[in-house]
Amino acid sequence: MTRNEFEDIPLLKAEAGRYPWQDIRSLPLRRDLPPPDASKLLLAFSTAMPLWAQWLMRLRDLLVSPLGLKTAEVAMRRAEGPFHIGQQLGVFGILYLGEHAVVLGQDDRHLDFRLVLQWQPGWLRMATLVRPHNLLGRGYLAWVTPWHYLIAGASGRRMAAALQSQ
């Protein structure tokens, strides 16, 4: 990626290029959809993960907790606003709330990740950015990548549908 896809998000303006692993996707939305604010993006996100993916996250927690990795101890359920920076939604901490964008993420010994949810006219943009720090982080990333693509695809479609039905 030659240009920073997230120039309009202050938190990522200078940092996006520091995340070597990136999954960026755009999902179409109706053009007549009222622009969702950060709160609506988070509400749609909080219910987007399919049940089978929630079970995979529980399995992930069981497998990684002996390694000292962070777990999503509290199951993610429909979030309630008002939202604020620093609030936890499962494994996701709210790092940035913009007018039509949200950045969730977590920093850990093995890797840092960011999840960007952004509305643009006619589109829901979702991006996962990961910066592994060591062998454990690179191994973990290799292990979860195939599952990430399945979960991100299903969750993105469900999130787009939720935004269009609000």
| pLDDT single digits (tens) 75-106 | 455 567 789 999 988 778 999 999 999 999 99
pLDDT over 90 (residue 48): no
Q: Rounded distance, CA 25 to CA 118, Å? A: 11
Give the per-residue pLDDT at 4. 55
- Give me the pLDDT at residue 1, please: 39
Average confidence score pLDDT of the chain: 85
Position 141 scores a pLDDT of: 94
Question: What percent of the chain clears pLDDT 70, i.e. is strictly above it?
Answer: 86
pLDDT digits (tens, 9 = 90+) for 129-154: 999 999 989 998 998 899 999 999 99
Does the pLDDT of residue 114 top 90, yes or no?
yes
Tokens of 105: 């993420």
Q: Which residues contact 88 (CB under 8 A, 6 or more apart)?
A: 74, 94
Q: How far apart are CA 58 and CA 16, in angstroms?
A: 29
Whether the per-residue pLDDT at 61 is higher than 80: the answer is no
Mean pLDDT, residues 39-56 taken together: 85
Identify the bridge partners of residue 125 per DSSP, sorted by sequence position: 26, 118
Q: In this predicted structure, what is the pLDDT of residue 46?
A: 85
Q: Is the pLDDT of residue 2 over 50?
A: no
**Max CA separation in the chain (angstroms):** 48
